[in-house]
Structure formats: C-alpha cells, structure tokens
Structure 1
Amino acid sequence: MSKEKVPTGRAKGGVARAKALTPEKKQEIARKGALARWGNGQLKATHKGNFEVHFGFDAECYVLNDANKTAVMTQRSMAAALGLSSPSGTDFERFVNRKSISKYLGAGVLEKAMQPIEFKWVYPGAKQSAVTIKGYSADLLIDVCNAVRAAHEAGELISTQLKLARQASVVIGASAKAGIQGLVYALAGYDRTKEDVIAAYKMYVAAEAREYEKEFSPELYEQWYRLYGLTKPERGRPWEFRYLTIDHIYKPLARSNGKVFSLAKSSKQENGEKGDKIHQFLSEVGVKALRTQVGKITGIAIVSETREEYERYIAEKVFGQKSLPFGGDADPA
C-alpha cells in the first residue's frame, strides 16, 4: 500500500478551514467567490454538447461567451464522467467533500468545487426560453480524477469505489493526450475539427483502458532471459527484448509481414507520446491477434531447450521457413 499523501502548508490549512465551515457558510463563500470570479449572471453559453452519443453516458457540456471561451461541464455531468451511480449535481458535491477525496484535492481545487459557474443557456426556437445552469470548468474533472487516483493508491477507497479509480485513470490518461477542453469544444460543435478530436479522444480512451490488461506474459520474458542468456537489469528490461518483440511478435502478427506493426507504429508517432506502447495503437482485432501471437511464442519458448531450437521453431511454425528472415539475431545491427 502506498504511503498516504497528506496535504501540507497552505493546502493543509485550506482543507482544515473547509472542514470547519457550516454548509450555510460554505454556500455563502461559494456565492461570493463565484460572483467575484465570473460576474453577476452575465455569462451565457454559445454552444452545447453531450457525451452520450459518442461515449455512452448522459453528460451535458457547454462553451461560454467569456474571453477564454471556457469549456464547462454541468454538476451532473461531472458525476457521470466520474462513474458515480445515479449521478446528480448533489452527488458530485457530496463526493468531493468526502474525507477520503477532499484531503487530496487541496485548498485551491476545493474552492473551485465550492464555486460553481452560473450561466445561461437559451434554447433555440420561437420562444427563446432561457435556463440558468451551474457547472464547472472542465479541467476540474482532471483535478478530481487525480484525487481519486491518489486516494486509491493510499488504500482509502472501499471496494465499491474501485471502479471509480479505474475510470479516473482512463479519463486522466485520455484527457492528457487529447485535451478535455478540446473534447468539450468538439462535442459542443465549437471546434472546426470536431470529428477528428472526438475520434482521437475515443482512441485514447480505448488505449488507456487497455493499459490495465497485460498484453505480454511475464513467462515469455522469463523464457527469453533463459534462452538468450540475458541478465535481468535492476530496472526495466534488456534492450534485446525490443528487437525480439518486434521480430517474433509484431512482424508476423496476423501474417501481415510487418504491415500491422508499421501501421501501429505510425499511429503512435502521429498521436502518441514517448512512453506509449505499440499495442495501445492496435485496433480491437489487432489486440486479439496480439494475444494469440504472444501465447504461441510463449509456448514455443517454454518447450525449447536452447536458443537455436527456439529460433528454429519460430522459423518453421511462425514464418513457415527453414531459417528466420531477419537472421535470428536480437542485436539491432
């Protein structure tokens, strides 16, 4: 279990102050803070969107008419994005004020959570009816997700909340790459590259979720250490594993002669970051093929007594040849 991350300094004082306030005092502070920050009812939403069609949960989002074109999510939307059951605005407020979560938010974020943005949305049509809505800058979702993940690492979430930790990690990872503000812009029709942004975000959601599944068996690595006489480094894995992975796993994947690997690699170069893994950029069909391939290679490695026997089996069973097409060498040259 990870060591608890307890707020210190000003953050600690802010959390303590927030705990000591009565609900009425909190509301009064929130009202004054919101007025000071956002003005007196002058904010209006120019665009409106929803996560439901593309992501499967009902969560409204808006773009405001302020100078920053702030991307906002309603209080209910925040709860839905976190994966809270039967989400509502009050659910979100109660959640962020729980002891297990609030201690990881810090004073500044807690104040933002206590100061919802009040804005108007005018429904299109003949009557032009307007409603007043409360929401938060979309980046607050990332702050809360970080707090959820920290609480999980400290072992403070109960078993029924573990799904929230997974959802939080998925949202953080996907949003860090695609941008939560850009996604709200796209869903609300504010961004001219709407479909591209949505597609990219959906890809990253799938990629982040897939990181929770081990695509490569630890047994395969153990067998490679044995067959190639490699010494386990204190951290990470030997550089030779990179070439073994490419040559024995990715190049023959789906009998594509390296084409699937090239496509995934190109996708990573265009859309990914340095620490991303190639398998995160495979399609669902590609991931299934990868798992089959890893299982096959692991089996061959287990029954092989020597490196020579292993590579002979790889050549025959995987490539259908008498020798490996790339020389059977793990060296990069």
Structure 2
Amino acid sequence: METRNQTGVAKFLLMEVTEDPELQPLLFSLFLSMYLVTILGNLLIILAVISDSHLHTPMYFFLSNLSFTDICLSTTTIPKMLVNIKPHSQSITYTGCLTQLYFVLVFASLESFLLGIMAYDRYVAICHPLRYTVIMNPRLCGLLISLPLFICLVDALIHSLMVLQLSFCTDVEIPLFFCEVVQVIKLACSDTLINNILIYSATSIFGGIPLSGIIFSYTQIVSSVLRMPSASGKYKAFSTCGSHLSVVSLFYGTGFGVYISSAVTDSSRITAVASMMYTVVPQMMNPFIYSLRNRDMKGALRKLIGRTPSLV
C-alpha cells in the first residue's frame, strides 16, 4: 500500500447514513427536525435568560452558555449528516474534516466543563446559601466560562496540529457520520503514539475532572440536604438540582454508551450510531429538561413566547 503525506489527501469518506433509498427522505426529515428543535429550543433558553431580569443569576448564566454550546456542537455535526444522506455525498475535504474535528473537540469538551461548573454552582447555592452572591460574583462567573473555553480551544488546536503531522494511506474512510479525532488517527500510516497519548490524557482530564467535580458537589449537597430539618426545604433543595442531574445523566450516559459500544462490538455502524446519539440527543433534550422541570424558566418562556403572565 502506498503511503502519502497529509498534503496529498484531498478528502475523507464518511460512513453512509443509510443504503436504502426509501429511508433517505425519512431520515433526512428526522435529522432536520431534530436539528431545528435543538436550535430553536436552545435559542429560546438564551433569549429567555436575556429578556427576564429574574434570570440574571449565575445559574441561568451558565445555562445560557450551555445552550449556546449545544447549538454550536449540533451545527458542527448535523448539517454534514444531512448532506451525507444523499447518495454519493459521503466525502468531506481534508480541510473540512480537520475543521469539524477541531470544533467537535472544542464544544464537546466545553460542555463537559460547563456541567461541572453548574454542579459547583448548585453546591455553593445549597451548602453556602448566605455566601452565594459573594462567592459566585460576576468576576468568578466570567472566569469560570472564559478559562475552560481557552483551555478547550488550545487543546483542540494541539490535537488538530498533531493530525496535520500525520501521513495517510489510500484508505481514508472514517467509520462515523462525522470527523472524530480518534477515528481519523486510526487511518494514519505514520506513527500515532504521541497522538494517542495526548488523546487519552485529554479525555482523562476533560472528562474525569468535571465528572469528579460533579460527584464531589452532589456528595456535599446530599449531605447538606439530609441535615435540613424540614421536608419542604429538602424538596426545594433537591428540585433545584433535578434538571442538572438529568442533563448530566444524559450527557455522560450517551458518552459511556459510545465507549461501551466500541469496546464490546466490532460493528462500526453501532459505534457510529452511538456517537451520533452523543452529539445530537443531549443537545436536543437539554432545553426540554430545563423548561419542563424549572418553574422560573417556564415562566420566562411563556412571557417570551406568548407575552402573557406566567401561570406557574
């Protein structure tokens, strides 16, 4: 097999969404609907937070950033999936693949950090309520958003530059519906040891640290809530965490699903579907979870959409 360097690779081939022509219109309509729901739902969350002064708090500031991240992550992957449903449209240029790879890394990592930050916010609100406004001041909130964003941008840039150094063979078919760094590296003919070390190190850091923070925060929250004397106080405290716990479970649950599917099965299509669920479903469901479980958010959305007083 002849090896070519990275400058000779004109394009990659993504996995075909379906080989059945009769399913193509149905899948196109399904993915398009999911994308529009994701964009509209998260955009409504952002507009509701901006328009309602009662939601100008750290909790909703982080939520609006999570919604923006969900919009960006979905926009990075779903439009290309829609194009790939058409016959003979599975190719993606080398530059386009590298760009998609970069932004998937940025926004997936940022979403993980945001979920950890939101858990810390709930920890401070429940365990240190009298000091909440002092601790979660605007400066700290801005730092908690800007610092992870900078780290994610730099990390994604490092991975992308490392991919640029690789040489690729003639077989450049990616067994996913979008460009993902691990799968792209597997196609390389040159040594990928450093790339793999960087990937697993980054995954451990960007996945492990936020998840550890979430576990620690909720351990402290449960301990604090159980010491509350009144049942109503316990219910109110737990209810403020319900939406976030649901989003965390969905995000990390689908993430572990990708890992498990790739570990226990040799079917590239099953792994591809699991990866698609990870980058599509949580982003679509997050607005519903927060709007259905949060009274303040439901009220703000009703005012925004119907210009009517909240009935909640």
Global fold match (TM > 0.5)? no
Give the TM-score of the pair, scaled to structure 2. 0.29
Greater share of helix: 2
Higher relative contact order (CA 8 A, sep 6+): 2
Q: Could you say which structure has the larger radius of gyration?
A: 1
Normalised by the length of structure 1, the TM-score is: 0.28
Bigger strand fraction: 1
